[in-house]
Each structure stands twice: as C-alpha cells, then as structure tokens.
Amino acid sequence: MKTLILGIGNTVLCDDGVGNRVAAEVGKRVSDPGITVAEACHGGLFLLEAFLGYDHVVLIDAIQTRGGIPGDIYELSPGDLLSARHLSSPHQVDFATALELGKALGLPMPSRIDIVAIEAGDVTSFRDTCTPDVEKAIPIAVELALKKCPAHQNYIGEG
C-alpha cells in the first residue's frame, strides 16, 4: 500500500504550522520506502495533485472548532469536514468537494484518508513557533499519525 503522510499549514502563522511540524517529526521516524512524508501550504484543489497515485493518505492539519481547546487532537475522516477553514483553498473549494471532484474526474484517488487535526489557538500571529499547548500536542500527534500507517514495524524509535 502506497501511503502519503502530508502535513499542511503555514509555519510563519503560529499554530497554523502545526501540521508541517508534525510531518517533519514523522519524517525523521519513517524508513519504509512505501511511505512518503511531505509538507504543503495549500488545501482544497491543490490536494488533488498531492493525493494522486496514493492508496492511503494521512493528512495532518490545524483546525479550529467551536469550543475547542488548543492542543486537543482529533481523529477525523473526510466526511467530518463538510467545510473546514484550514483545508480549503482561497477559492472556497472545501476538502470534501475537492475529493468528490477527483473521483468524478476518474483520478486515482486514495481509497483511505485519515485526518489528524490539532486544535489551534492562534493562527494569525506571525511567529515561527506554536503556542505552548499546541507545542505539547506535537509528540502525541506524531504517534497517532504513525499508528495510522499500515507498516508501523518500519519506524525508527522516538526522535
């Protein structure tokens, strides 16, 4: 199974970069050639190209929910994201719509998509570090992302 672990975010916007930070840590621990670890700063339609040819995707991103506590970690599926601010392009094509478009166009889309979302507190301040509560969630999110992969025996010990 060809797997993509993809962190999304903007690393200069405080907690918005948590997906990238988690992916960078995951990348230090994955040694399986069937698993690609990458980072991106786009969502929506831009994800279609990134997903092409993969059987499984583990997507890692910041999220802001009503009443959420910064640092909380959620395990989601694409159906949970009918319209998510951090997974949509500036043209407002949400994540679920982009996936449906890929399927409708007959593109080779993944059969399985897992989402690891970290509740963000501050996504607007220009800062290259996360807030303390989100920073504490990074190692937990790394472990969760690794557990979502089919071949966890190919991981290098904790970084």
Segments in the chain below pLDDT 70: 82-94, 151-159
pLDDT for residue 102: 83
Domain ranges of the chain: 3-154
What's the pLDDT at 159? 47
Q: What is the pLDDT of residue 153?
A: 47
CATH code for the structural domain at 3-154:
3.40.50.1450
Instruction: State residue 16's pLDDT score.
Output: 94
Q: How many CB atoms lie within 10 A of CB 87?
A: 26
Question: pTM of this prediction?
Answer: 0.86
The pLDDT assigned to 95 comes to 73
Q: Closest Cα to residue 145, out of 61, 45, 49, 50?
A: 61
